[in-house]
Structure 1
């Protein structure tokens, strides 16, 4: 099923599917019309001799310099050249595909002013698997992602490099092999291709997609440990968390309780009056992380569907606005917070692991499975499913052995979300928010 680009309803799941699963991309007819109408508006302004930043003027310190007709033709090319200034090894193909999708969605709003062929060329590149080679370093989002987006834009001139069918090729060769015409750059095209925080936002979208599933696996690991240590489960009663009012904690407690449904622990077994802090505060810690994750998703999806560009053209109002809608802080701030939250989730996992052993999530799975092997009661349905998934890749430790193979196998299992898939197939989907 194709991802239809409208400019206003792109979801993080769409970004993931295009980046990782090569989902087909289509421009909605209304988006094509908006792009074309905006271009007509710009060309009329150029013909009338109106001064417009980045169209017939220089940029930055040279914004007051008005370009003549010949300079306008050359300006877009040299704009891309002097911003193609990244360093380091190539960024992952998935990141670049996601960034291109984000830029297409910006154009779809009809406020960027490029020719429709520029946007359509990016669509064709995604659908035919032509991915520009982009250095992984060179932008902090302060003035948009000018350096990486310029390396992408080199392909619009038949320059730069690209990955195509497993090969790293000169840009023109890759485009020719894929059968994509090279559109070249005319007035405004170059700046419209680069002037936004699209790589920053794309990477953030992919990280959020993975983090949502990572947090579910953290709750699965917590449930296994709670059962292995015969924990008092009163701290996981949803009523407790609803009284405080944080939705993340309610969700986290609910997921863990869902894991241990049908457990002997819920059938009157004798447990401590109150467990250690790390055993009873998981909903509060993971819940706080979930609440920040929800905020990060909201901010990133606003940016995905917003007009991150400069200048911005309003054909209906007949005006051109300059500003700084390329600035990356609205996405960077919640993502910085999310990084701290991921660390916090790993720390409490390590603290529960300490209760089992008297570095982080994958090792907790191994230790919890080992501890459950020594219990003579029946754990919850979800916990049993998780235990079975762990045992598919890590055998019970009967006699001491080198553990690096176990650790690496468990790391891949967590990365591939195998335990999460097994558990949700058994007990149904765990809540994300």
Structure 2
């Protein structure tokens, strides 16, 4: 189903549909009209020699340099050239597609001043599968993601590189093969294509989508481990959490209670401790905290996706040109730093449950390290080592980037968000998180195999899915294959999808 971009209704889910699942897009007719009205105002101001930043002036430290008519025509080309200054491997195609969709949605407000041809060309690029090759590194998150967005804007001049039909081509060849006319750049067009935090926001939206699904899987893994450790089920009564009032914890407790429905542990017939360790009974509070952090980050990202991130900004109804800093990435960078920290925190908790599953002093009678012949076999002893490595790396990556400003452009840009660093490290944090949770899932399934009671319906289904990919560990074997399979399984969301088919959607 085609997604209409009108400047105000772009959600995380819609962006993922465009970026990851190649949904078609269209520009709302009223948005196209707004773009035309704004462009007419800009051209009138140009004809009247009104000074407008980045249109008939230089940029950054050169903003006081006034351009003559001939320079105005050529300036946008050189602006894109000198800003296409990134470094490193190409960004994933889904990240760049999401950034293009976000930029179209900015233009849809009719405050950017570019020609309609620029926005409509970006729409065609998305719909025909032409994705600019964009270096991952080089943006400081203000004035927006200049380096990567400039690399993307090279295609508007028939330059740069692009991925098309699985090939990496010159930008000119990709546009020609796709049948997309090259619009070229006129006054204001180049800056309007690049001056916003669109790539870091796009990446953050995709990360939020994946984080939310990760947290649901963390609750499934927790339910399995808690059952395997003969947990007391009282801490997962939603009434307990309603009395405190945190929305995330209430949801998390309800989910865990739903996952363990049908378990012999819920009947009161089996002996359990009066109180379990924090890594078990604090699970709703901890995952709930992460849920609340990610929910806040979502709210900020969706505001940015539907806002006017540009400079200058034109207000046609007031015949007004406003310069400011709506490209500043801090509104996204700070909450996304927190979201990354939240995922790391949940992984630390996961590893502590893994420790209890494998530690004979804490495992409630499970075999040492979940091995069939402890001492001769080591079971999952080394799996914990691997989880620990991943978590230490996550802790290092959880240092906030949003406080790491280094001044740029001769101190004209003397505070920058570093939001691209946040986005890049959140991708690494998530990648490690899939590994940590995959190892807990593997250990929980192994532990439940040793128990002689009926687990909850959710736990049973999760174990069944795990066993499609990784066999029970009867005798020691190299575990790296199992770890990588489990990491891929968590990333795929197959466990979540199958469990939700069985017990209904988790909150």
Quote the offset at 1:140 in angstroms: 2.1
Q: What TM-score do the two structures reach when normalised by structure 2?
A: 0.84
Q: How many equivalent pairs are there? A: 431
Tell me the residue number matched to 2:280: 279
Q: SS at the partner of 1:4?
A: strand
Cα distance in 2 for residues equivalent to 1:289 and 1:342: 7
Q: Which residue of 1 aligns with 2:342?
A: 341
- Following superposition of structure 1 onto structure 2, how do residues 92-107 of structure 1 map, counting pairs within 5 Å? 92-107=92-107
Q: 1:364 aligns with which of 434, 440, 443?
A: 440
In structure 2, distance between residues paired with 1:73 and 1:301: 35
CA distance in 2, matches of 1:178, 1:222: 48
Residue 379 of structure 1 is matched in structure 2 by: 455
- Tell me the SS of whatever aligns to 2:243: helix
Q: Which moved more, 1:22-31 or 1:394-403?
A: 394-403
Counterpart for residue 56 of structure 1: 56
Contact 2:438–2:490, Cα closer than 8 Å, also in 1: yes
What is the distance in 1 between the residues matched to 2:187 and 2:287? 50
Alignment partner, residue 316 of structure 2? 315
Spell out the pairing of 1:194-343 with structure 2 (5 A cutoff).
Answer: 194-268=194-268, 269-343=270-344
2:114: which partner in 1?
114
Task: Give a deviation string over 1:85-119, Cα, whole Å, max 9, x none.
Answer: 00111111111111100000000010000000000
Asked if 1:401 corresponds to 2:470, the answer is no
Once superposed, which parts of structure 1, at least 4 consecutive aligned residues long, lie more than 3 Å away? none
Deviation for aligned residue 1:142:
2.6
User: Unaligned 5+ residue runs, structure 2?
Assistant: 360-386, 388-435
Alpha-carbon distance in structure 1 between the residues aligned to 2:232 and 2:482: 30
What SS does the corresponding residue of 2:317 show, helix, strand or coil? coil
The 2-side partners of 1:63 and 1:404 are apart by 56
In the alignment, which residue of structure 2 is the partner of 1:424? 500
Superposition deviation, residue 263 in structure 1? 1.2
Deviations 1:204-238 (A, max 9, x none): 00100000000000000000011111100111111
Distance in 1 between residues matched to 2:342 and 2:30, nearest whole Å: 40
| In structure 2, C-alpha distance between the alignment counterparts of 1:130 and 1:403, rounded to whole Å | 40
In 1, Cα distance between the equivalents of 2:339 and 2:142?
Answer: 19
Partners of 1:402 and 1:50 in 2: CA distance: 71
Q: CA deviation at 1:272?
A: 0.8
Residues 142 and 196, structure 2, Cα contact 8 Å, conserved in 1: no
Q: Secondary structure at the match of 1:254?
A: helix
- TM-score, scaled relative to structure 1: 0.98
Question: What residue number does 1:2 align with?
Answer: 2
CA contact under 8 A between 2:223 and 2:459: conserved in structure 1? yes
**1:20 Cα deviation (Å)?**
0.8
Q: Tell me the SS of whatever aligns to 1:21.
A: coil
Coordinate RMSD, CA, aligned: 0.8
Counterpart in 2 of 1:164? 164
State the partner residue of 1:37: 37
Judging changes above 3 Å, is the alpha-carbon distance between structure 1 residues 137 and 289 closer, same or farther for their aligned structure 2 residues? same
